[in-house]
Structure 1
């Protein structure tokens, strides 16, 4: 049985701890008494992935077996998550490819010949053909892509959406191919934080991934105020998910992965520091110095090439709500760590791997999202830091942006944000501008850029987490870039603790969320 996560209290014998910081990592000594939250070891994988997939499809939750729901003459659509999940990418073959091939085999046996595949990228960037092939496998790609039957979802193509109902928030418009299908098979990868949003068809499911841009904005809220109340945002997603569920039959397949984020030369980063062997310490020193002094482009290519060692611990299929509930419980079973009480200060490291920075750049906004919304907000119940407490995060916050993937991020960071901005005050105006800008929409539709409103939605999530905190300080960050986002910067951890001392006291309780692998905190 895998070792569960636990909380270590730093004492005189505790070695320096690895803290990710952008394309590299630091070895930091923490003050005595600091609580260090370690995730559990990876859970044992399923013995045979093929058998696990077959069992899930043939004995699903609250649904007839998939084969019984397939028939000749029907229209079948298979949608699957994009490459924002998991990060780093899993080893080949991707579990989505295995699941999709199993679904197609059953469809062929049932005589289904009207089949299309859609990458459920929502407002994320369109994937390149090579990226699509990596997710669905060479055989599926070769069979469907050339005939335009394997495509990215286009949330801005008004002619390719169908109104399927309405909620109090407005009309719900769904991808036309999906709306006109007799069955939608949705292939989802369950890892935190996307598995923590609840069992609805909300933010992590078809409600956001396969609808028109205007419907997504209903979930996020035109003013952003709904994100102040997390339940409010999820409720909108559930309502829209319910409309989708009434409009089209959905059969969901979830692959639940373990938390083995590191392989090869970096595998020691997934182990507890006092268990590092001599060769691990040598590798840590060489790798840290090599990354520190390497030119930006080679360093970034090296980190982009890192792959996770993820293995599948469960495959669940059937009715979406039942599947999401079970997948969420399985994710929490391996990654939830109980913590006794909140702290004055939380410390997190921001690694190179980011859902919105795959084969790209982790710009300052994405780094802030990773720290506040991706790591600190990955909890059940109360957050690990008390209300009015402080967050100390590690990342250089360099003003690096991808001109191909992140054009709207450049303008949002440079024009919408200023050091004295109220995080909420800028949102309504910014969303209207970036959501309706024709150039951003053109780049999203014809190139590989994130939708124009993408940075605004990430800022909603950052601002919602920021509202809970009294102070946010970045260690090793560009001071001007930190201040532009309303944060402060420090050179060292000791300096950061001195800075937050004025608001939380000079002898604060400190909790370091040691990740990745991801930690889901459960404060009791």
Structure 2
């Protein structure tokens, strides 16, 4: 059969055996039904929160409100997106309760991601909210290196060092706008994952995005009960304990195309299991009738973390690992991955400034596996050049590269071979321990030494163009 897979700015064709099984999120198995009256249902959820008082009982004139919203990485940009629907309702309810407009601050929870540009913020929030709050400096990106706006909360029950956004900490009501969407890091986005990664410091994120957490048996395949997930919850609840108040959390369960299936509002500890129960119906898909020897997919240049993710060698391997984490339940042990990537040496140094240095470190000084370079996390995360590029030049924080190498090694832990197909500069892929071939057909032929002559093949077109699921046995 002929299939097309993402490759750079376009597609690459593959001739695969006719017995190849194909899965496309939202198409092969339809998503659950969408909310029909999105604004009405969102408003109903916000006005009837679970486990916390309604907005009208929490704030009054003089109250300071922070609204924390996710960055451009996920959540959609359509006019009915969760951010564009929920935030105006929350602002309206605050104003009704007497809050003055000047006392409302909107904070993009970019965490260690690069700060979002003015144009991106506008696309996330919509023209109306943007124009009402941007020009008065009431919309900002979180800055995890701005010590004038961070507060050190000590250590939580797991020993994680919790450092959070000071404006959020000091506000009278802190609103988390989140998305319950399948995520290889701890099962789902939203809930306490949102605050524990989005408005913290790299040392806090370094408590869970690290090898000793991510390389445990409870991390792969993805699930909602790993140590990572427990750390997210502990950090978020430690914040609440120190703040003396609960986050007012409004999470939407999203489908393949970032549209709302359900909305839950209230105390994160209570709404997480409710949102997960609904999200499980879309995310954990009992579909496979056999386990597969080979997984085939493609990688565009621009997805998820940004332009260059599909060419930056560390992020290429992280993306391969993400598919292993999601689909491990349907793959045989020591499976083979075949993935198209233009792999042309484009790191996008402006957006991912520390990545080239981390890659070069991996090539030298007795670094045999990715976790060997973890020891440089403190050094590079304190390098002023990279901190300045994160703070002032829309670059990813240097520690982000180290959180990604922890994930990248998972592919090596679970695969007998990883092939990059169509690389223009194949040495970058080989430098990450991946094999290179010119075509899918050549890679599949070479993979016979690992998977045999008639392997069971799982093909995943659009795997990085849609919100992924976690495949399971039927």
The CA deviation at 1:43 is 4.1
Assess, with a 3 A threshold, how the Cα gap between structure 1 residues 487 and 506 changes in structure 2: closer, same or farther.
Answer: same
Correspondence for 1:105? 92
* Contact kept in structure 2, 1:344 and 1:386, CA below 8 Å: yes
* Contact kept in structure 2, 1:378 and 1:521, CA below 8 Å: yes
CA deviation map 1:237-256 (0-9, x unaligned): 23212211222320111123
Correspondence for 1:186? 176
Q: Secondary structure at the match of 1:21?
A: strand
CA deviation map 1:157-188 (0-9, x unaligned): 12211122412434311110111122211011
Count residues with an aligned counterpart: 453
> Unaligned regions of 5+ residues in structure 1, if any?
1-14, 261-309
Q: Residues of 1 paired with 2:433 and 2:95: CA distance?
A: 56
Correspondence for 1:469? 415
Correspondence for 2:150? 161
Correspondence for 2:314? 365
Q: Residues of 1 paired with 2:191 and 2:252: CA distance?
A: 16
Correspondence for 2:349? 403
Find out whether 1:28 has 2:14 as its counterpart.
Answer: yes
* Contact kept in structure 2, 1:83 and 1:358, CA below 8 Å: no
Q: Secondary structure at the match of 2:119?
A: helix
* Contact kept in structure 2, 1:93 and 1:137, CA below 8 Å: no
Q: Residues of 1 paired with 2:444 and 2:126: CA distance?
A: 48
Find out whether 1:205 has 2:194 as its counterpart.
Answer: yes
Q: Secondary structure at the match of 1:383?
A: helix
Correspondence for 2:450? 503
Assess, with a 3 A threshold, how the Cα gap between structure 1 residues 464 and 361 changes in structure 2: closer, same or farther.
Answer: closer
Q: Secondary structure at the match of 1:407?
A: coil
Assess, with a 3 A threshold, how the Cα gap between structure 1 residues 196 and 47 changes in structure 2: closer, same or farther.
Answer: farther
The CA deviation at 1:495 is 1.6
Find out whether 1:413 has 2:359 as its counterpart.
Answer: yes
> Unaligned regions of 5+ residues in structure 2, if any?
220-225
Find out whether 1:392 has 2:389 as its counterpart.
Answer: no
Correspondence for 2:472? 522
Q: Residues of 2 paired with 1:196 and 1:426: CA distance?
A: 23
Assess, with a 3 A threshold, how the Cα gap between structure 1 residues 447 and 100 changes in structure 2: closer, same or farther.
Answer: same
The CA deviation at 1:82 is 0.2
Q: Secondary structure at the match of 2:206?
A: helix
Correspondence for 2:265? 317
Q: Residues of 2 paired with 1:195 and 1:74: CA distance?
A: 35
The CA deviation at 1:349 is 2.0
Aligned-residue CA RMSD (Å):
2.5
Q: Residues of 1 paired with 2:170 and 2:146: CA distance?
A: 16
The CA deviation at 1:125 is 0.3
- The partner residue of 1:232 within 227, 237, 256 is 227
Assess, with a 3 A threshold, how the Cα gap between structure 1 residues 417 and 74 changes in structure 2: closer, same or farther.
Answer: farther
* Contact kept in structure 2, 1:174 and 1:212, CA below 8 Å: yes
Q: Residues of 1 paired with 2:44 and 2:383: CA distance?
A: 47
Q: Secondary structure at the match of 1:332?
A: helix
CA deviation map 1:367-404 (0-9, x unaligned): 3322321x33224xx43322222111121222112232
The CA deviation at 1:352 is 4.3
Q: Residues of 2 paired with 1:490 and 1:312: CA distance?
A: 41
- The partner residue of 1:218 within 173, 195, 207 is 207
CA deviation map 1:188-223 (0-9, x unaligned): 123332696258855x310111112221112224xx
* Contact kept in structure 1, 2:161 and 2:207, CA below 8 Å: no
- The partner residue of 1:45 within 34, 40, 47 is 34
- Higher mean C-alpha deviation, range 148-157 or range 103-112: 148-157
The TM-score normalised by the length of structure 2 is 0.88
* Contact kept in structure 2, 1:57 and 1:317, CA below 8 Å: yes
Correspondence for 2:72? 83
The CA deviation at 1:126 is 0.7
The TM-score normalised by the length of structure 1 is 0.80
Q: Residues of 2 paired with 1:492 and 1:442: CA distance?
A: 41
Spell out the pairing of 1:38-437 with structure 2 (5 A cutoff): 38-39=24-25, 40-86=29-75, 89-92=76-79, 94-113=81-100, 114-167=103-156, 168-193=158-183, 197-198=187-188, 202=192, 204-221=193-210, 224-229=211-216, 230=219, 231-248=226-243, 249-260=246-257, 310-338=258-286, 339-357=288-306, 362-373=311-322, 375-379=323-327, 382-417=328-363, 421-437=367-383
Correspondence for 1:306? none
Assess, with a 3 A threshold, how the Cα gap between structure 1 residues 200 and 401 changes in structure 2: closer, same or farther.
Answer: closer
Correspondence for 1:293? none
- Higher mean C-alpha deviation, range 57-66 or range 73-82: 57-66
* Contact kept in structure 1, 2:181 and 2:189, CA below 8 Å: no
